[in-house]
Amino acid sequence: MAMPTRDQVSALLGEIQDPELHRGLNELNMVRKIAIEGTRVTVLIALTIPGCPLKDYFHTVIPAKLTQGYPDIGHVEVELTSMTEQERQALVGGLRKDTPGPFARSDSSTQVIAVGSGKGGVGKSSTSVNLAVSLAKLGYSVGLLDADVWGFSVPRMLGIHERPTVVGDMIMPPEMFGVKVVSIGLFTSEDNPVVWRGPMLHKALQQFLSDVHWDEPDYLLVDLPPGTGDVSISIAQFLPGAAMVIVTTPQAVAEKVAQRAGFMAEKTGLVVAGVVENMSYFTGDDGKRYHIFGEGGGAQLAQRLQVPLIGEIPLNPRMRELADVGAPIVLQDPDSDAAQALERTAKELVNLLPAKPKPAKRISLPLLSMGAEAGHAHAHGH
């Protein structure tokens, strides 16, 4: 009978990643005991926090992984405990980068793209969400920071309703459709207004960048509030040299207001990379294009800012309908004209702002000997 050794079991467990931290169980020092008796294997896993909502994940994945690798295993018992406060702080310290955030470092491997607009109502957030999902569809790792603190809408558009898990003082961003998301909307209800002044906004944004386990995505999109206020200035301070895409509509008034946002970006150190024209036209049942909001605003803005017009997104009622139920149009109706235009825009973004090369991931954590594991209290059901 070909039963595995403890080292062979350990190697298989190391191939399993924690679904929130995206690191192997051995790398995170979560494997505390491996016992083999006949055809029975018992594994003790230390979760990051007591009552971890992902306990069912380990009860399912570990037995499947071990029995697939060694079919002669008759039973896998998964026992769960939780890390001590000291171990948790060591884990967070190993994951954390220096403040105000990993993206401010000159050696950051994340391409940061702020998405802004001069005024509200131009579809900036729906554009941000669908571009983020389109980049994930292209195979990139993507983060989306909803910095529109007063008018947050990203959680609803992605169908995220649960609060993030917090390990120590580090926030684990929920992931939907391949996009990691953080928004003030994940910590409050949609009905509650956020009544904050500049310093509080500044601190909240700093935390969203430095206290969130973004895990160095290829792209971080930042959905800015409309206009040129405190949030945009803070983001420019935290993310020096970040690229910015400006969303406007074909209307001349919108283009003029968006132009101010572009000039503000340049003054604060953001680099305007391109313009996206939303609601460019509507295709009727007769197949004709109707320019409901006028023509040329996006092209004029791009010309004034001396940047390319990287996308023209048509007006499509399905985009609004799907956003209301947390289903991005690029996934739910990929053949629609709006989805096709958004995916083309995402590809233009990649051409314009290619992903940066990634360094090898390293995490330094204190190691516990296998002999000490049995002394930990077993906490079944955590």
Q: Return the domain boundaries, the chain.
A: 6-95+361-375, 108-352
Is the pLDDT reported for residue 294 higher than 80?
yes
Note the pLDDT of residue 310.
95
The reply to whether domains 6-95+361-375 and 108-352 share a CATH topology is no
Reported CATH class of domain 6-95+361-375: alpha beta
Judged against a pLDDT cut of 90, whether residue 362 lies above it is answered with no
For residue 271, what are the contacts with CB-CB under 8 A and spacing of at least 6? Answer: 241, 242, 243, 244, 265
Most confident of 86-100, 211-225, 350-364: 211-225
**For range 244-270, the mean pLDDT:** 76
Mean pLDDT for the stretch of residues 228-242:
70
Q: In this predicted model, which residue has the larger pLDDT, 272 or 94?
A: 272
Which of 84-93, 219-228, 290-299 has the least mean pLDDT?
84-93
Sequence-ordered list of residues with C-beta below 8 angstroms from that of 11, at least 6 positions apart, any chain: none
CA distance 197 to 185: 17
Percentage of residues in the chain having pLDDT higher than 90: 33
Residue 298, judged by CB atoms within 10 A of its CB (0-12, 13-18, 19+), counts as buried
| Of the ranges 117-126, 185-194, 321-330, 362-371, the best mean pLDDT one | 321-330
Mapping DSSP to helix (H, G, I), strand (E, B) and coil, where does residue 192 land? coil
Interhelix angle 317-324/124-137, rounded to 10 degrees, is: 80
Mean predicted lDDT score pLDDT of the chain: 81
Alpha-carbon Rg for the chain, nearest whole angstrom, is 24
Q: Tell me what the mean pLDDT of segment 266-294 comes to.
A: 86
**DSSP-derived 3-state class of residue 332:** helix
**pLDDT at residue number 276:** 94
Q: What is the pTM of this model?
A: 0.70
> CATH for 108-352, among 3.40.50.300, 2.40.110.10, 3.60.15.10, 3.40.50.2300?
3.40.50.300
Instruction: Please give the average per-residue pLDDT across 231-237, as a whole number.
Output: 69
In this prediction, residue 200 carries a pLDDT of 63
Look at residue 231 and tell me whether its pLDDT is greater than 70: no
- CA 123 to CA 114: how far, in whole Å? 15
- Note whether 194 and 149 are within 8 A (CB): yes
pLDDT at res. 190: 53
Quote the pLDDT of residue 98. 42
